[in-house]
């Protein structure tokens, strides 16, 4: 290859490149604008949702609204007391079931399981579980508990919600524990501490805030679930009457209120939505800010 040939290519190619240059710059600008428009388009709904929920919800708020049971249909009297109480009971019970099991499974996967066939299968199934529609999980609660006990019940709702929450806790726990540097564990081994103790005292303590954040996000997630509750706790306008009986929940109440033809019901729906969004977003914002301060990131899909 001679020097002349190379010069030749340079001229041909650079001439050709000059011709396309303008189109490329225009494309680049168009894409940038498109990306910016996408961002704006995504932010508009959040703005509008917050605005509407606050605007319509605030007027419904009162002490009676927060504590009293619902008045007769269409009357516009009463409140969503049972729904708030029910959400707290069902979600609380669900997290009591899901947290220990999820955290232990996460510890097992991260610290003891290695990469054999069994843990791989467990991880795979766990991932599948996160992808299952919540209404299908509601069917589980219905078939196993409602049919068995013969009544819609808190137990069924809590079981369904815990099935939704558990895989989230497993994933977050496993991933947080994995970030704990190996040198910390080795320091423990060097002191002759048993593996179980290292896991409990060193690894888990280091990863505590990460795991807690994961649990918190899991709780926020199930607090907003509606579909599985339809077929498990049914929803009622009465207060809690025992774990074997039906109970109400905020998302369920919003759904029922929104489906009614009365303006007053819709206003109640917005009020309930305000309470729910305050609970869920409040938890999210708080936990994420805390996580950011402590310097770890949280998986988006949790």
Partner 1 sequence: MVCLVTFSVFRGSIQIFSYEGVIGFLTGTDWNAVEGRESFGALPYIVGTLASSAIAMVIGVPISLGIATFVSEMSPPRLAAPISFVIELLAAVPSIIYGLWALFVFRFWIRDLIEMPLYNAFHGSLPIFAKYPFGLDLFTAGIVLAIMIIPIISSICREVMRVVPNSQREAAYSLGATRWEAVRIAVFPYAKAGILGAAILGLGRAVGETILVTLVIGNVIGIAAIPTTLFSQSQTLSSLIANEFNEASSDLHLSALIGLGAVLLILTMIINIGARLLVRKMVKVPTGEKGRR
Partner 2 sequence: MTVEEVMREEEAAVAGPIETTDRYKVVIKEINAWFGRKQALKNINLNIKDKSVTAFIGPSGCGKTTLIRCLNRMHEMTPNARVDGQVLVDGADIYDKSIDPVVVKRRVGMVFQKPNPFPTMSISDNVAAGLKLNGIKDKNLIAEVVEESLKGAALWEEVRTELEKPGMSLSGGQQQRLCIARALAMQPEVLLMDEPTSALDPLASSKIEELVRSLKEHVTIVIVTHNMQQAARVSDFTAFMYLGEMIEYGATSQIFKNPEKELTERYISGKFG
- Report the distance separating Cα 147 and Cα 58, nearest Å: 40
DSSP 71-89: -STTS--B--HHHHHHHHH
- Considering only residues 20 to 49 of the shown chain, the ones binding partner 2 according to CB under 8 A are 20-21, 23-25
Alpha-carbon distances of 73 from 43, 170, 257, 265, rounded to whole Å: 36, 42, 10, 8
Tokens of 13: 């190619």
Candidate ranges 7-15, 81-89, 103-111, 247-255; the one touching partner 2 (CB under 8 A)? 7-15
Beta strands in the chain (DSSP E): none
Considering only 8, 10, 12, 25, the residue that binds partner 1 (CB under 8 A) is: 25
Q: Are 79 and 70 in contact (CB under 8 A)?
A: yes
Considering only 8, 9, 10, 48, the residue that binds partner 1 (CB under 8 A) is: 48
Give me the least distance between CB of 242 and partner 1, in Å please: 20
Candidate ranges 16-24, 47-55, 108-116, 264-272; the one touching partner 2 (CB under 8 A)? 16-24
Nearer to partner 2 among residue 9 and residue 189 (C-beta): 9
In the block, which residue shows the tokens 């077929």? 231
Residue 278 has a CB neighbour count (10 Å cut-off) of 13
- Considering only residues 237 to 276 of the shown chain, the ones binding partner 1 according to CB under 8 A are 251, 254-255, 258-259, 266, 269-270, 273, 276
**Residue 186 parent element (H or E):** helix 182-190
- Report the distance separating Cα 224 and Cα 219, nearest Å: 9
Coil vs helix vs strand at 234: strand
Give me the least distance between CB of 291 and partner 1, in Å please: 11
Tokens of 188: 């423990």
- Report the distance separating Cα 78 and Cα 72, nearest Å: 8
Nearer to partner 1 among residue 180 and residue 234 (C-beta): 234
Residue 252 has a CB neighbour count (10 Å cut-off) of 27
Considering only 66, 140, 193, 202, the residue that binds partner 1 (CB under 8 A) is: 140
52 binds partner 1 (CB under 8 A): yes
Nearer to partner 2 among residue 19 and residue 182 (C-beta): 19
In the block, which residue shows the tokens 């078939």? 143
Residue 20 binds which entry of partner 1, partner 2, none, CB below 5-8 Å type-dependent:
partner 2
Residue 49 binds which entry of partner 2, partner 1, none, CB below 5-8 Å type-dependent:
partner 1
Residue 113 binds which entry of partner 1, partner 2, none, CB below 5-8 Å type-dependent:
none
Give me the least distance between CB of 14 and partner 1, in Å please: 11
Residues within the interface to partner 2 (CB under 8 A): 1, 3, 5-6, 9-10, 12-14, 16-17, 19-21, 23-25
């Amino acid at each position: 290859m001679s020097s002349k040939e190379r010069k030749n290519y340079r001229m041909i190619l650079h001439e050709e490149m000059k011709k396309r240059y303008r189109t490329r710059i225009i494309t680049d600008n168009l894409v940038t604008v498109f990306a910016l428009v996408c961002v704006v388009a995504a932010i508009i709904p959040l703005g509008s949702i917050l605005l509407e929920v606050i605007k319509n919800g605030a007027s419904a708020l009162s002490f009676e609204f927060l504590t009293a049971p619902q008045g007769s249909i269409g009357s516009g009297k009463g409140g969503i007391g049972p729904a708030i109480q029910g959400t707290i009971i069902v979600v609380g019970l669900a997290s009591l079931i899901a947290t220990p099991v999820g955290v232990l499974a996460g510890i097992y996967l991260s610290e003891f399981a290695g990469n054999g066939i069994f843990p791989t299968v467990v991880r795979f199934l766990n991932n599948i579980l996160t992808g299952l529609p919540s209404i299908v999980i509601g069917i589980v609660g219905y078939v196993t508990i409602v049919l068995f006990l013969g009544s819609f019940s808190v137990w069924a709702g809590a079981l369904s919600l815990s099935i939704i929450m558990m895989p989230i806790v497993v994933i977050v726990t496993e991933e947080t524990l994995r970030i704990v540097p190996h040198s910390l564990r080795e320091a423990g081994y060097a002191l002759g501490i048993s593996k179980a103790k290292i896991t409990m005292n060193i690894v888990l303590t280091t990863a505590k805030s990460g795991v807690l954040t994961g649990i918190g996000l899991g709780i926020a997630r199930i607090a907003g679930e509606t579909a599985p509750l339809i077929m498990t706790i049914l929803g009622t306008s009465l207060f809690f009457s025992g774990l074997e009986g039906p109970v109400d929940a905020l998302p369920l109440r919003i759904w029922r209120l929104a489906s009614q033809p009365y303006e007053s019901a819709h206003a109640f729906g917005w009020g309930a939505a305000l309470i729910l969004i305050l609970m869920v977003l409040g938890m999210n914002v708080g936990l994420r800010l805390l996580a950011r301060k402590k310097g770890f990131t949280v998986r988006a899909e949790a």
